Amino acid sequence: MNVLVVGGAGYIGSHMVRLLAAAGHVPVVLDNLSTGFRQAVTAGELIVGEMSDRAMVTQVLGDHKIDAVMHFAACALVGESVIDPAKYYLNNISATIELLEAMRAVDVKQIVFSSTCATYGEPKVVPINEQTPQQPVNPYGFTKLAIERALSDYAAAYDFGYAALRYFNAAGASPDGVIGEDHDPESHLIPIVLQTALGQRDHVTIYGSDWDTPDGTCVRDYIHVDDLGAAHLAAMDRLKLGEGLCVNLGTGNGFSVRQIIEACRKVTGHAIPAVEGERRPGDPPELVADARLAKEKLGWTPKYTDPEQIIETAWAWHSANPSGYDKK
Ligand code: UDP
């Protein structure tokens, strides 16, 4: 299939592009390079532009005979979404609707959408299954939920076929160390711990050690970026016009901040100083997927179930590219 990967120069999108090419598909990347990197695109053509440019996207869809779209282009930082909600409403909602309208104009009706466990908010029951009420507690989660609703309406009214994949904590890198995670500023736990292992930071701050969890620190479900990609391939194969599928993507296993830091010490062989600090506003104590529906509907199971395996791939990237991508 010819697949337009919107946000294909970003962290998850760039891993998707490699998997698409390896599976015999033809990826075409559309990215505005606001947070993505040209060097991260290791297969297919890169078109630098805005997904909100409906005329341009319509042209790209037609010229490249696109069969399906994978949409990764989003602002995805909870804290930033609280401080600057307009950025999230404009990019994650308005620009995405423009993308859907470009698709509708040329009858491209298949889309796999990156959603998030942040659409659930702070669930009372863990693990989280797809029946858990979606009550986002920040603008980021709300904008993703809004697009899930839009896709459902587009499926009913315009015969779109979609999958909304609700990621838990994406982590890891391509095992060959060629592409990986590079955010500025970095806010995610595993890259921060590995940057500390590299001596780029003095210590890791643990955001809260008095949570009601087994060791007092927050628990998350870390899922390898290539496992996310494999689920997208399976979802794309199963798209049905007029229908939608919403599934969680996680391993079903939770690990605490302390457990992750310890796993990083083991993988890297570095001491990695850690300091207990304040809770980070907006952090739910525990987010773990009930991932059974994805297994059932997509025939998908994650290959990486042990955080050490995930961290090994991230360490291969960070240690070979301590400054991330070349910013020149
Ligand atoms: N975290 C931490 N110190 C850091 C960065 C993150 O203790 O420097 C914690 C954070 O509070 C959360 C977990 O690590 O409980 C994962 O955070 P991340 O930002 O990677 O992902 P999120 O769960 O927010 O999507």
Q: Residue 98: inside a domain, yes or no?
A: yes
With respect to residue 39, please indicate whether it lies within any of the assigned structural domains: yes
Could you tell me which of 26, 35, 107 has the C-alpha nearest to residue 70?
A: 26
- Residue 92 CA to ligand 1 centre (angstroms): 22
Q: Express each pLDDT in 167-207 by its tens digit.
A: 999 999 999 889 999 999 999 999 999 999 999 999 999 99
Task: Verify that 96 and 202 share a domain, yes or no.
Answer: no
The answer to whether residue 328 scores a pLDDT higher than 80 is no
- Domain co-membership, 243 together with 213: no
Q: Go through 83-97 and write b for each residue having 16 or more CB atoms within 10 A of its CB, e for each that does not.
A: eeeeebbebbbebbb
Distance from residue 236's CA to the centre of ligand 1 (Å): 30
Same domain, 131 and 207: no
Same-domain check for residues 21 and 41:
yes
Mean per-residue pLDDT over the chain, rounded: 97
How many Å lie between the centroid of ligand 1 and the Cα of residue 320? Answer: 23
- Give 223-239 pLDDT, tens digit per residue: 999 999 999 999 999 99
Mean of pLDDT values over 6-22 = 98
Q: What is the pLDDT of residue 281?
A: 82
The CATH number given to whatever domain includes residue 161 is: 3.40.50.720
Cα of 112 vs its chain's centroid, Å: 12
78 and 225 in a single domain? The answer is yes
Q: What is the pLDDT of residue 20?
A: 98
* Residue 181: per-residue pLDDT: 97
Domain assignment present for residue 298? The answer is no
Does residue 132 sit in the same domain as residue 118? Answer: yes
In a domain, residue 229? The reply is: yes
Domains contained in the chain, number: 2
Same domain for 97 and 127, yes or no, is yes
Tell whether 176 is covered by a domain: no
Ligand 1 atom 19: residue of nearest CA: 188
Q: Which domain holds residue 315?
A: 189-220+252-287+303-320
* Residue 325 in domain: no
Considering the domain architecture, whether residues 139 and 66 belong to the same structural domain is answered as yes
Residue 107 has pLDDT above 70, yes or no: yes
Residue 203 placed within a domain: yes
**226 and 152 in one domain?**
yes
Q: Which atom of ligand 1 is nearest to the CA of 204?
A: 8
Atom of ligand 1 nearest to the CA of 207: 7
Quickly state the pLDDT bin for 282 (edges 50, 70, 90).
confident
Integer-rounded Cα radius of gyration of the chain: 19
Instruction: Count Cβ atoms within 10 A of the Cβ of residue 149 and give its class: 0-12 exposed, 13-18 middle, 19 or more buried.
Output: exposed
Contacts 24+ apart (CB under 8 A), 147-154: 147/92, 147/93, 147/96, 147/113, 147/115, 148/113, 148/115, 148/119, 148/246, 150/96, 150/97, 150/100, 151/100, 151/111, 151/113, 151/244, 152/244, 154/100, 154/104
CATH number at residue 261: 3.90.25.10
Give the residue numbers annotated as catalytic, written as ranges.
140
Average of per-residue pLDDT across 84-92? 98
Helix (H) or strand (E) holding 263: helix 257-268
283 — pLDDT class (breaks 50, 70, 90): confident
* Whether residue 72 is found in the same domain as residue 6: yes
Residue 328 in contact with residue 261, Cβ under 8 Å?
Answer: no
- Are 239 and 307 in a shared domain? no
Same domain for 129 and 193, yes or no, is no
Residue 107 lies in a domain: yes
* Closest CA to ligand 1's atom 11: 207
What is the pLDDT at residue 326? 87
pLDDT at 13 over 90: yes
Ligand 1 proximal residues by C-beta, below 6 Å:
169, 187-189, 192, 204-207, 218, 220, 257, 280, 283
pLDDT in tens, 235-273: 999 999 999 999 999 999 999 999 999 999 999 999 999
pLDDT given for residue 211 in this prediction: 96
